[in-house]
Structure 1
Amino acid sequence: MKNLKVRAVRRDNGEKTDISRVFLVEQVKGMLDKIQQNLFDVAKQKRDACIEVVKTRWRKI
C-alpha cells in the first residue's frame, strides 16, 4: 500500500498481480471476467470429457 499498489491473487490459477490503486477497479473487473470465463471453460471441458454419444438403432431394441 505504501507504493499505492495492491496485490491480487487469482483463485483459479494462483497468479499474483500487482495493481496500481489508480487502475484497481478497472483491472479487477477485467480480472474477474477472466476468472469467470476460465472457471467456466475448465468445468465445460471436464463435463464434455465425461459425455459419450451412443448411436443405436432403436428398432433393434
Structure 2
Amino acid sequence: MQEDIKQLSTHNRRIIAKGSGHYIHFERPELLVREVATFIQAIRAGGTLPGEGTTVTE
C-alpha cells in the first residue's frame, strides 16, 4: 500500500529505515536529519530529489 501512496506525487521517494520502528526520529535520527536536509535542498534548487521514484532500504 505504501508503494501505491508514493505514486500520488510526481516527486517521491520511499526510504525503509532498517532497524527502526514507528519512532524513526528516536531510533534513526541521523537518517531523518539527512533526508529532510536533502529534501529542503532539492526544493530550494527547484530540482528533483536524488533517487526520485525509488524505494531504498537504509
Structure number having the greater strand percentage: 1
Rg: which structure is higher?
1
TM-score (norm 1): 0.37
Structure ranking higher on relative contact order (CA contacts 8 Å, 6+ apart): 2
TM-score (norm 2): 0.39
Structure number having the greater helix percentage: 1
